[in-house]
Amino acid sequence: MLQVDAVELLPEVIEASKYFMRPSDGDAHNPRLRLMAADARRFVRASREHYDVIVSDNFHPARSGSGSLYTVEHFTAVRERLAAGGVFCQWLPLHQLDLDTLRSIVRAFLAAYPRGWAMLATNSLDTPVVGLVGRSDGNRFDVGQVRERLTSMAMPRSPVELSITDDLALLGSFIAGPRALARFAGNAPLNTDDRPVVAYRAPRITYAPDSLPRDRLIALLREVEISPDELIAARDDAVWASRLTAYWAARNRFIEAGRDVRATSDVRRMLAQVREPLLAVLRISPDFRPAYDPLLRMATTLASIDSAAARALLIDLQYAQPMRPEAAQALRRLSGASP
């Protein structure tokens, strides 16, 4: 049975959290959730509990005291609190962090988790968030186990609601393996308790940013890479591994294509910017749903003002991803046939 310990430094945040609950959550106290007002850094050193999953949430690295949550000592203390096979994820706000400071954090993380990986929380260009992921045993992930948990675990919200439609969508969010992370970190100064590099460097980007978050994200993606053999346990399904590699390539192309897109409510103008780039992404990986869904929504909107253009776009979508039914269904509706 799932048990959760949540540690928050400010009691006021715990009190305010009830205002962000969904109506379906109800007001009843959940006995399997313990909310504690405490310093997470002290908590992991004082606790003797062991956890299957530990997540360190996103916090501004320039805030006073935050840099100490990115040190070798803290990452090592968290590892000591992991159960056998446990997983730790440290989220990092790349929109509030320059790449040189990130290198020091990555190097500190690898000191505790030498076989660690990096992943993206979303494909956002304005608020990119990177996750550093490590396991207590250093093992890779079992795809069969990932699939089973996605389909069988009882959760308040379906993984699909979180855009995790399948194992490819989940594992496709990884951007770097241990080899690439080690190269990226290089000889950057380690962030340690007695050499708090992050505490001194992080505030600079708040007051004198040297780049846009989207540019930092794209620069990071160009420096790192990952291969299936670094992430998943040995398997014989070469076709699936090839699909995962294509998914990663499509994700990177998708993010780069979005850098210069200008938001507009005019569907024709938006389509003129993104149609060919997104179709090109789907040609790399038909599995990459973030490129399919926006085009499908635009085709639906376009149908009321230009049915011929909508039909042409839906045909392109159907050709790019014949296994998905939505474009064909929309075409039938457009032609007045029953779905």
Contact criterion met (CB below 8 Å) for 227 and 177: yes
pLDDT digits (tens, 9 = 90+) for 117-140: 999 999 999 999 999 999 999 999
Domain boundaries 39-231, corresponding CATH code: 3.40.50
Partnered with residue 194 across adjacent β-strands are none
DSSP 172: T
pLDDT digits (tens, 9 = 90+) for 185-208: 999 999 999 999 998 888 888 788
Closest CA relative to residue 63, chosen from 83, 93, 86, 37: 93
- Quick check: helix, strand or coil at residue 59? coil
Cα separation, 79 vs 51, in Å, equals 10
In this predicted structure, the answer to whether residue 338 has a pLDDT above a threshold of 60 is no
In this predicted structure, the answer to whether residue 44 has a pLDDT above a threshold of 70 is yes
Cα separation, 120 vs 92, in Å, equals 10
Q: How many CB atoms lie within 10 A of CB 160?
A: 11
Considering only residues 111 and 164, tell me which one the structure prediction assigns the higher pLDDT: 111
Grade residue 155 by pLDDT with cuts at 50, 70 and 90: low
In this predicted structure, the answer to whether residue 243 has a pLDDT above a threshold of 50 is yes
Considering only residues 209 and 329, tell me which one the structure prediction assigns the higher pLDDT: 329
Q: Six-digit token pair at 314?
A: 């839906």
Partnered with residue 192 across adjacent β-strands are 195
In this predicted structure, the answer to whether residue 328 has a pLDDT above a threshold of 50 is yes
Q: What is the pLDDT of residue 287?
A: 94
Break the chain into its structural domains and give their ranges: 39-231, 261-334
DSSP 235: -
Closest CA relative to residue 163, chosen from 149, 173, 153: 173
Instruction: Mark out the alpha helices in the chain (DSSP H runs).
Output: 11-16, 40-46, 72-80, 99-112, 143-152, 167-171, 178-185, 197-207, 213-223, 228-231, 238-258, 267-284, 289-302, 307-320, 326-334
In this predicted structure, the answer to whether residue 23 has a pLDDT above a threshold of 60 is no
In this predicted structure, the answer to whether residue 253 has a pLDDT above a threshold of 50 is yes
Contact criterion met (CB below 8 Å) for 52 and 87: yes
Using alpha carbons only, give the angle 212, 213, 218 rounded to the nearest 5 degrees.
100
Q: What is the pLDDT of residue 32?
A: 81
Q: What is the chain's mean pLDDT, rounded?
A: 89
Grade residue 18 by pLDDT with cuts at 50, 70 and 90: confident
Contact criterion met (CB below 8 Å) for 183 and 225: no
Say what percent of the chain tops pLDDT 90: 63
pTM of the shown model: 0.90
